[in-house]
Structure 1
Amino acid sequence: MTELKLKLSVLPTEPGCYLMKNDDGEIIYVGKAKNLRNRVRSYFSGAHDEKTMRLVQDIVDFDYIVTASEIESLLLENTLIKKHQPRYNILLKDDKSYPFIKITKEKHPKLVVTRIVKPKTGIYFGPYPNAYSAHETKKLLDRIYPLRKCNTMPDKLCLYYHIGQCLGPCVFNVTDEQNQEMIDGITNFLNGETDSVMAELKEKMENAAAELEFEKAKEYRDLMGHIENTMAKQNMLTKDMTARDCFGYAVENGWMSVSVLFIRSGKLIEKKAEMFPINDDIEEEFFRFIMHFYDLNSNLLPKEVHIPKEFNVDLLDEALPVAVKGPMRGPKRQMVDLANKNAKIAVENKFEMIARDEERTIKAVETLGDIMNIEAPRRIEAFDNSNTQGVDPVSVMVSFIDGKPSKKDYRKYKIKTVVGPDDYASMREVVRRRYTRVLKEGLPLPDLIIVDGGVGHMNSVKDVLINELSLDIPIAGLRKDDKHATAELLYGDDAEVVPMKKNSQSFYLLQRIQDEVHRFAISYHRNTRRKTSITSQLDKIEGVGPSRKRKLLKEFGSIKKMKEKNVEDFKEIGIPENVAKNIVKKLSE
């Protein structure tokens, strides 16, 4: 969770798509954002509905792809959902495609909206993220360019001819020149040359408004809005269907980041980014990465590879069995620029995460040492006790090295010599056991010992360390407030409160330590209670051995439910009558 918070803190504010992952690395949700930082952070703060809460509980990591616009992120989101089929996505998971506007390749062509692309059957424009606007634009084009409408040519003129939306090729001779003129007009329109049409619609809208025909004026206004939505630039897409990979790079602090954008069927389908230390010339490192990136004998290579123009394109073109290009301008150059941008963000994030991690760990440790007037406590060991009115008393120790938990050094202790709820005696026993073993085995001693408690707990530890083990280790206590939150750090011979800012990284470090040792103690105590509770009651019953105990727990689940059963209930699962009577009798007692 700590690493996740760090990644959240350095997210870019660019538009793009984010991919949420579970602990198996599986992509469980894909979303888009106008601002990646704000959108992804929103999952981890505030109130959510039940579905989103379940999603957030499963998230352990995420990745993201920066895009050039919000519309591009919308298109990319659609592609990624279809590819990965994340289980938390429900709206776009049905594998529906965004629509295209198509001019069919026939003697008398038609204008249609379709979601299926077959390149040899016509000219395609799109895809369009707003399906409604695509259909409305098609209706507008039907009014301006009267191509045929019927799927099967009729033998008489239809309604479309009479309303001026068809030239009637079923009856009249419509020439190839007439059809081509309409195709050229539609092509220019859909390629963004809409100024003349928009001017005409605006004039009609103003005239209709002047004549108080407000319904007609509204219709013209809506058509202009549909055209603007449909004509939105799609820099994420290329006009051809060539499979190409676009490489970008960035260099910072002796590290190189390389980002690869995979373009298939005109769409960005995936991004990969790698980071590695530079040991050679930048161009050499970049080319070495690309050569290792591909299996040169594979039949899945792209048709083209695009790289930044400053590199020796001819050299790489000769080395790879695919066309290598360094685009100078246009959409292909924009794709390489986007790859560079993703690489730059990745390497900047890496060092920003390192800086923030250092601030919250190593620097926090150094500052803590300064505040307490001791050497920087690189190794901190913290203790806490847990019991229920003296029953099943346990104690634990957690270890933090350079401000980070070192879980391999955590230890659990069952209290052996203390009878009843005596926290001070329990603390003395555990500290004695811990540091007697440390001295015996030559293990590293901590730079600071923290106990969850106040002056009494600190004095218990000092008594053992100084008087019994002759160890001189700084000892501090963490005292909680009425809300059971970390409130004060106690230190010194008189156990005085150490002045600290509550919003400092050093104080946050102490909070993390206290929360972690408390969590570890409670978890261990609960497990111990559960085992002893089940074991002690069943093990005292004559005739119930390990095998029957497993059988009883499997069948009834808990001691509580067993107490509700009678002899016949136990006999039904194969328990002999005399043993069943013993169970009922003992549990009733």
Structure 2
Amino acid sequence: MPANERLKDIISHLPHKPGIYKFFDDHQIIYVGKAVDIRKRVSSYFNKSNQHNKKTLKLISNIRNIEFTIVDTESDAFLLENSLIKQHQPKYNILLKDGKTYPYICITNERFPRVISTRNKIADGSKYFGPYASITAMNVLLEMVRSLYPLRTCTYNLSPENIARGKFKVCLEYHIGNCKGPCEDLIDEESYNLHIQQIRSILSGNLGTAKNYFKDKMVEAAQEMQYELAHSFKQKLDILEDFQAKSTVVSNTLTNIDVFSITSNEKCAFINYLKVINGAIIQTQSLEIQKKLDEADEEILASIIVQLRHEFESDSKEILVNIDLTLPLDGLTITVPQIGDKRKLLNLSLKNAMYLRKEKESMNDKAKDTNEVRIMETMKKDLKLAELPKHIECFDNSNFQGDNPVASMVCFRNAKASKKDYRHYNIKTVVGPDDFASMYEIVTRRYRRLLDEGTPLPQLIIIDGGKGQLGMAVKALKDLGIYGRMAVVGIAKRLEEIFYPGDSLPLYIDKKSESLRLIQRIRNEAHRFAITFHRSKRDAGTLKTEITEVKGLGKATADKLLAKFKSVKKIRELSEAELTAEVGKSKARLLLDYFASEANPKATNPAA
């Protein structure tokens, strides 16, 4: 059974129920989608092909098999879709890098716990905080914790039995004040765990417990006239307050909120995520998402919200976004705030997303600029030019059996088409199909005008044609007195030969050369531009001549009909009533009689 017939058969048996569908090529899953009605959604890919963009049409052309899974609700379909995308990473789905590569801060599950960083989250009873998108931010937090609390860093098994037997000895960390020596039972487990509880609060975004503890200890030590100890607690309190001052505290009234914003261009979406706990931003992540099927911002953001919340282990019940969005998930409140602290928070997120977009687009522009300079330098070397060809102009002629001779000039600046500088030319001084004379005329007209206007001349002129047309272009430049002020070459179509004035031997540039590819692109653009102009002129002439041949029908009437209906064929298809409405009864009758005579010439010419 042919592939298309097989797919039609599969689609005809798809259920009208919510669920997910999977498209396969010959080897693997290439797309996963969700649907309220699986059959209707899958059918739309094949029934509305004229409404799809190129990327979607490419996806459809690669589909060889379709599978589906029915679920109970739209919410289940949404979650299953995200799970399958993460698992299979299909080619045509937008993808997010797996969060398992992000680091965590771990409070180990052992006697006298350690506080360490790790990328491996193991289900061993340890408490993990994160993941952290920024390693630098995580290390700052770790350093603060270690400066506040003297914790062990060794990996000894500090069981009561081992400590009682005197199995371990304190190390350098104890002697420099970084550890209280639990290995020799120099600190009791309760006091040590009190520090761990405060560290848990700090890593959860709540600095209040630790601040109150150090404040109370400072006052207590001062009352007992232990001023050095009071000063040490004051230093720890200052560390906490300094850290909090550097953190972005958005509002003391806000609790746990996720903030997402999105902005996009044709190729990419730029998303920022802020995780807010107890009114402070404890996580921030900005990322660039490559569009696979020209997805809408709403579709991209909905998918990324689920993935980022999973990666950063968020259980916030409130989400702020900058576009109207609906997620089929229970227990979530999604809003686009307009005023107040929530709006300020959203604006901060959007500012970060816009900054990422500007930065990426600027990098792309710089890369393009570098690429263009390289191409121009290659062309300068290949064509042995004196100057970098920043401004190139190319000429081409077009005629059909000598009728409607026209020409075109296309302009490229910095290796890119400058369409505002393109020009069409109606050949005025040449009778018949004389490409050489036509080339002389258009080159003369082009550069006489630039000279009259005082406009800078190009560094390179390309003539689409062989030695004969190149020679006429050179003659035109000499007659204008500007030959030698720019380079001029001809390109012959058959073997892509490059001709120089006065040199009978052509230059052959490497077929893979970037400069030859650019010359070909410029030449093809000039040819396309000339052909398009020639066809429009020829067609316009044909149409107007045919309509204006009708006796009694003036040019204004013909122009009016052609402007509205675009072709004689469409005018022929109009009914008498429609023609009468456009041009009146008498002119409509003239047209109808003319069309009838064209269809049956013997009726009006019995001698024929």
Query: Same fold judged by TM-score > 0.5?
Result: no
| Structure of greater Rg | 2
Instruction: Give the alignment's TM-score, normalised by structure 2.
Output: 0.42
